């Protein structure tokens, strides 16, 4: 959230766990630290006999480790195409599951249909997720809506439709966000602007795109919404960091494989936030957060949330 984000924290909200960035910042972490502090002091008191000094040191070490872990900033957890490990990607069902799993944001991909409706779908063609082949830009929403976008994942999702963007935005709970990846060209902007204006959740929307011109255009059209440039090319990122700052993008959203210390440091020095995708491995999430990444896009928001819980 602009103007309210603490240093090193994502402009995306975080809603669960301890020591979250942004709106729920630090309360959980402080409570956790205080709890560990109390219990450790009690144990140290009980072990005040000189013979137990070694144990005292061990307990102190354990306390420090737990306190350090609790102080590790938790990134915003962004559900990639919804909770797409379990539910069919880019459907209302996958968004709703992600919210249940306490995702801070849901990421969706958009294309424009032949009748100018903004459809939520990762591919330009419907074949992979519906079994029937239609090019979205050449097909009306009426036809697209007859397709079953759920069965391919699991029979229990039979009948899930390709959503209109408005339907996905309508699922976003208070305090959380929808990250909209613009997959198609600039032809989508007139319809997108209308949706954003009418949805009543404008402040909860974030835009991302791989195409440079598209994200710069999004920045221009939606000056108060966060905009991040997507890339999986290390050389392109080195080249564009200065430009991204010049065009007032909020940050970069990079393939985790190209996120290293030098890149994060350079981006931060330019005033850019760093997000990363698509990470389902808690150890890799820890590496990224340690480098200063403030938002993690994952197919498994439940697993990543759990990995930040100290038993």
Is residue 122 packed enough to be buried (19+ CB in 10 Å), middle (13-18) or exposed (0-12)? middle
Only one of the segments 108-116, 164-172, 196-204, 298-306 lies at the binding site for Ca ion (rule: CB under 5 A); that segment is 108-116
- To ligand G3P, the closest distance from the beta carbon of 278 in angstroms equals 6
- Print the binding letters for residues 224-253 with ligand G3P: x by CB under 6 A, - otherwise: ------x----------------------x
- Using CB under 5 A, which of the segments 1-9, 111-119, 181-189, 255-263 binds Ca ion? 181-189
- Determine the distance from the C-alpha atom of residue 226 to the mean position of all C-alpha atoms in its chain, rounded to a whole number: 13
Kindly indicate which of the ranges 71-79, 164-172, 175-183, 298-306 contains the residues binding Ca ion, using the contact rule CB under 5 A: 175-183
Comparing CB distances to ligand G3P, the nearer of 21 and 180 is 180
Candidate segments 84-92, 103-111, 132-140, 265-273, binder of Ca ion by CB under 5 A: 103-111
Q: How many C-beta neighbours within 10 Å does residue 239 have? A: 11
Sign of CA dihedral 78, 6, 290, 247: positive
* Total residues interacting with ligand G3P, rule: CB under 6 A: 10
**Residue ranges in 268-297 that form contacts with ligand G3P under rule CB under 6 A:** 277-278, 297
Nearer to ligand G3P by Cβ, of 74 and 299: the residue is 299
40 near 62, Cβ under 8 Å? yes
- Closer residue to Ca ion (CB): 109 or 250: 109
At its nearest, how many Å lie between ligand G3P and the CB of residue 159? 24
Number of residues that bind Ca ion (CB under 5 A): 2
Q: By C-beta, is 26 or 278 nearer to ligand G3P?
A: 278
Q: Which partner from the list Ca ion, ligand G3P, none does 300 bind, CB cut-off 5 to 8 Å by kind?
A: none
In the block, residue with structure tokens 């949805």: 199
The DSSP line for 155-168 is: GGGTTPPPPBHHHH
Tokens of 189: 């902007």
Minimum distance from residue 307 beta carbon to ligand G3P (Å): 19
DSSP string for residues in 279-303? ---HHHHHHHHHHT--EEEES-HHH
Alpha helices in the chain (DSSP H): 27-46, 53-71, 92-100, 127-130, 141-144, 165-170, 189-198, 212-221, 234-246, 261-269, 282-291, 301-307
Nearest to 160 by CA among 172, 147, 173: 147
Q: Tell me how far, at minimum, the Cβ of 222 lies from ligand G3P, in Å.
A: 17
Report DSSP state, residue 235: H
Q: Partners of 229 in the beta sheet?
A: 209, 252
136 to each of 36, 80, 119, 214, how far by Cα in Å? 54, 21, 8, 19
> Binding to Ca ion by residue 109, rule CB under 5 A?
yes
Nearer to Ca ion, 181 or 302 (CB): 181
From ligand G3P, Ca ion, none, interface partner of 165 (C-beta below 5 to 8 A by class)? none
Contacting ligand G3P within 160-219 (CB under 6 A):
181
**Minimal CB distance residue for ligand G3P:** 277
Residues that bind ligand G3P (CB under 6 A): 80, 107, 109, 122, 181, 230, 253, 277-278, 297
């Amino acid at each position: 959230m602009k103007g309210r984000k603490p240093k090193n924290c994502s402009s995306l909200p975080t809603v669960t766990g301890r020591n979250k960035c942004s709106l729920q910042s630090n309360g959980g972490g402080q409570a956790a630290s205080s709890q560990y502090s109390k219990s450790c002091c009690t144990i140290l008191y009980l072990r005040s006999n000189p013979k137990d000094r070694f144990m005292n040191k061990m307990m102190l070490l354990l306390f420090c480790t737990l306190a350090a872990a609790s102080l590790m900033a938790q990134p915003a957890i962004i559900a990639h195409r919804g909770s797409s490990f379990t539910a069919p990607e880019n459907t209302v069902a996958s968004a709703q599951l992600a919210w249940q799993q306490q995702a801070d944001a849901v990421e969706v991909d958009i294309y424009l249909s032949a009748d100018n409706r903004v459809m939520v779908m990762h591919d330009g063609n419907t074949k992979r997720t519906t079994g029937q082949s239609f090019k979205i830009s050449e097909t009306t929403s009426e036809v697209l809506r007859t397709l079953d976008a759920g069965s391919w994942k699991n029979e229990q999702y039979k009948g899930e439709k390709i959503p209109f963007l408005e339907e996905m935005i309508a699922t976003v709970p208070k305090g959380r966000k929808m990250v909209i990846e613009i997959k198609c060209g600039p032809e989508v902007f007139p319809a997108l602007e209308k949706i954003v204006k009418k949805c009543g959740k404008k402040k909860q929307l974030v835009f991302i795109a791989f195409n440079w011109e598209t994200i710069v255009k999004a920045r221009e059209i939606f000056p108060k919404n966060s905009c991040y440039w997507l890339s999986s090319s290390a050389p392109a990122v080195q080249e564009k960091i200065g430009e991204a700052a010049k065009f007032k993008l909020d940050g970069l959203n990079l393939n985790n494989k190209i996120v290293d210390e030098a890149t994060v440091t350079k981006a931060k020095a330019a005033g850019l936030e760093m997000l990363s995708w698509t990470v389902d491995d808690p150890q890799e999430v820890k590496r990224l957060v340690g480098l200063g990444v403030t938002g993690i896009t994952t197919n498994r928001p439940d697993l990543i949330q759990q990995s930040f819980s100290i038993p």
